[in-house]
Amino acid sequence: MGDVRDSTGRDDAPLTVEKAGGAGAAADKLPEAQGHSLSGKTVTINRPRQPLYDFWRDFTNLPAFMDNVVAVELLDEKRSRWTVKAPGARTVQWTSIITEDVPGRTIAWTSEEGADVPNSGRVEFLDAPGGRGSWVVATILYDPPAGIIGKVIAKMFQREPAIQARRDLRRFKQLMETGEIATSARTRSQHEEETD
């Protein structure tokens, strides 16, 4: 199994770029792939990869920048319980298992059998070329809630995972580069409403 950034061979664009072949090709690269819709993005962060990995690896930090993630509870070394927002003011829960963990380099996970939203994913922390910090590449494979209709609804609520992943990665970058997450809220109550 190769790098998530491997190309399909027809050009040099990585698998995080939307391809004519859909999620299939990328899915082969993910261990124990769960789900059929792929969303992936690369973001450059002006910091070395080790502190980025460290922050991400402590899953209890994730709700700070992942808008949809309400809470992550660590069950043991490999397993964690995720509570995630779903359309219509609902939440869904699943247990996630770490399938690969290379300190400073890779974290991959997959949802346990029977999850409401079967999903798997992988985050890679790479040295950016030219000594310009790190590339963080996140690939998430998921089954949209309640099939196609669920995906449409999710899009309306902007909880569509591809959009969400892109925005979450930007927030991760902001937190790592500036120590905070940018907001244009003027008052604390406005801010609470927005981050709710």
State which of residues 131, 183, 193, 196 lies at the interface with other proteins (CB under 8 A).
183
Q: How far apart are CA 191 and CA 193, in angstroms?
A: 5
Judged by CB, which is closer to other proteins: 77, or 180? 180
State which of residues 21, 46, 64, 90 lies at the interface with other proteins (CB under 8 A).
46
Residue 174 near other proteins by CB under 8 A: yes
E strand segments, 46-112: 69-74, 79-86, 90-102, 106-111
Residue 182 near other proteins by CB under 8 A: yes
Residue 187 near other proteins by CB under 8 A: yes
Q: Pairing relation of β-strands 119-127 and 106-111?
A: antiparallel
Paired tokens of 129: 């070329």
Kindly tell me the burial class for residue 95, based on how many C-beta atoms sit within 10 Å of its own C-beta (0-12, 13-18, 19 or more): middle
Total residues contacting other proteins by CB under 8 A comes to: 26
- Give least dist CB 190 to other proteins, A: 8
Site residues (vs other proteins, CB under 8 A): 44, 46, 132-133, 158, 163, 166-168, 170-171, 173-174, 177-188, 191
